[in-house]
Amino acid sequence: MESNPTDVCYESDHTAESEFNVINYFNDDDSNLFFHRVDSDQIIYQPRQKKAKLFGQYIMGDILGEGSYGKVKECLDSKTLCRRAVKILKKKKLRKIPNGEANVKREIGLLRHLNHQNVIRLYDVLHNEEKQKMYLVVEYCVGGLQDMLDYAPGKKFPIWQAHDYFHQLLRGLEYLHSQSIVHKDIKPGNLLIATNEVVKITDLGVAEVLDIYMTSDICRTSQGSPAFQPPEIANGDEEFSGFKVDIWSSGVTLYNFTTGKYPFEGDNIFRLFENIASGEYTIPNELDSSLAELLRHLLEYNPANRPTIKEIREYSWMRRKHPQNTERVPSPPANDMLDAHHRMSVLPYLEDLHRVESTDDGPSDDDKTSKHHQLAPPSPSVAKKQAVQKSKKSTCRQS
């Protein structure tokens, strides 16, 4: 299951099928000893790479991405048959990140209670004490907006698409704020997209929960991404309005969606903060005036002058229906750029689980098996088994 091919080989040694091979080798010991070594890279190419792995009620699929905490894999909930993603956190790695463990614990506590279409949904948390791993089962998403922007022409979205995503961002943000949560790290990299073009706010690792008995939204700390931080944080203010931080970051996000640039840049964090603190930025002339007006309001230097979510919605740019005259920026293809449709990667594993000979490698599959035959003539029982599997395969293909 690991990405490393030698691991695949290693793991397959434990399975029943390759045990046959091992026995085989023993039987043929005296006939040919050398092919062991010659064949080592052939073994790696054995088609049996997709070994079904069940963890709890989840069947694991391919890797979707890798973060600083660990991998994210696709999986299938075998009870509900829902497609999910599982974030695998290695406790070892987590300990190396400042506040890593505490942040994750807090994030889990937060996410458990949240239920909104524009906020990533956490379904389950599993632990593997032996491997020191933690598994967070969340909604399946096809990619992040940052990845989409990276591949988009001009690194920006068409206006109508940006408008749609920004609307959804506001809806999710309004919900978080209604739950007394300040996200503090709103940026395209923390916005995922589900299969149906629904935006999901994710990564509440640095979010802050406000005291529900206090009217004010005063915050004192911030660990969000520097380019998206407002002047009050760049200036190092002791106290600041939490909600208005999120409004500012949403403004930078919208700026980035529509221009492909950032309002404030800098070679290092000090320069960047200096620029943010100066409050000087330009809005490209080619932007629609109503959009420029909204951006200027979102990026108000004084937090008190920044709009509330309700006020943002009243902007004419927000209320307007924007013509879909340009093509949608798609989510980047999965599986090393090969699969634009994000097919379910759990299926080959499932086929393996149910002993239907998988067809994951297409025609070349036969080729490899035959090579294998030449090198290691199978014992009659294995040959019979493979024949059965072959006939199964052909019926599969016919249907």
Partner 1 sequence: MPLWKSTKSPQELVRSLRDALLCLSTMDTQRDSRKIQKASEEVSKTLVTMKNMLYGTPDQDPQSEVMAQLAQEVYNNNILLLLVQTLHRIDFEGKKDVAQIFNNLLRRQIGTRMPTVEYICTNSDILFTLLKGYEHQDIALTCGMMLRECCRHEELARIVLHSDKFYNFFTYVEMSTFDIASDAFSTFKELLTRHKILCADFLEANYDSVFDHYQRLLNSENYVTRRQALKLLGELLLDRHNFTIMTRYISNPDNLKLMMNMLREKSRNIQFEGFHVFKVFVANPNKPRPILEILLRNKDKLVDFLTKFHTDRSEDEQFNDEKAYLIKQIKELKPLDPPVHH
- Binding residues (CB under 8 A) for partner 1: these are 109, 112-113, 174, 177-180, 210, 212-213, 215, 310, 316, 319-321
Q: 205, 225, 217: which is closest to 109 by C-alpha?
A: 205
Q: Binding site annotation covers 87?
A: yes
Q: Between residues 53 and 171, which has the closer beta carbon with respect to partner 1?
A: 171
Q: Between residues 3 and 178, which has the closer beta carbon with respect to partner 1?
A: 178
Residue located via tokens 């090198």? 375
Q: How far is the CB of 100 from partner 1 (least distance, A)?
A: 18
Residue 182, phi then psi, degrees to nearest 5 = -100, 125
Q: Between residues 80 and 316, which has the closer beta carbon with respect to partner 1?
A: 316
Q: Between residues 128 and 395, which has the closer beta carbon with respect to partner 1?
A: 128
Amino acid at 114: L
Q: Between residues 28 and 174, which has the closer beta carbon with respect to partner 1?
A: 174
**Beta strand 208-209 pairing with 199-201:** unpaired
Q: How far is the CB of 140 from partner 1 (least distance, A)?
A: 24
Residue 237, phi then psi, degrees to nearest 5 = -60, 145
CB 326 within 8 A of CB 163: no
Q: How far is Cα 206 from Cα 189, in angstroms, rounded to an integer? A: 14
> Is 352 one of the catalytic residues?
no
Q: How far is the CB of 243 from partner 1 (least distance, A)?
A: 9
Query: CA neighbours within 13 Å on the CB side: how many for 290?
Result: 13
Q: Is 348 exposed, middle or buried (0-12, 13-18, 19+ CB in 10 A)?
A: buried
Q: How far is the CB of 344 from partner 1 (least distance, A)?
A: 28
Active-site residue identified among 62, 185, 217, 352: 185
Exposure string of 208-230, with b = 16+ CB inside 10 Å and e = fewer, is bebeeeeeebebeebebebbbbb
Which residues neighbour 32 within 8 Å (Cβ) at sequence distance 6 or greater?
none
Q: How far is the CB of 124 from partner 1 (least distance, A)?
A: 11
Q: How far is Cα 87 from Cα 75, in angstroms, rounded to an integer? A: 10
**Beta strand 54-55 pairing with 71-77:** unpaired
Q: Between residues 179 and 225, which has the closer beta carbon with respect to partner 1?
A: 179
Q: How far is Cα 73 from Cα 30, in angstroms, rounded to an integer? A: 44
Q: How far is Cα 313 from Cα 33, in angstroms, rounded to an integer? A: 75
Q: Between residues 173 and 272, which has the closer beta carbon with respect to partner 1?
A: 173
Q: How far is the CB of 137 from partner 1 (least distance, A)?
A: 15
Q: How far is Cα 350 from Cα 358, in angstroms, rounded to an integer? A: 9
Q: What is the DSSP string of 261-300?
A: S-SS--SSHHHHHHHHHHT-----TTS-HHHHHHHHHHT-
Q: 226, 144, 230: which is closest to 190 by C-alpha?
A: 144
Catalytic positions are 185
Task: Provide the annotated binding site.
Answer: 87
Which residue ranges are tagged as binding site for ATP?
87
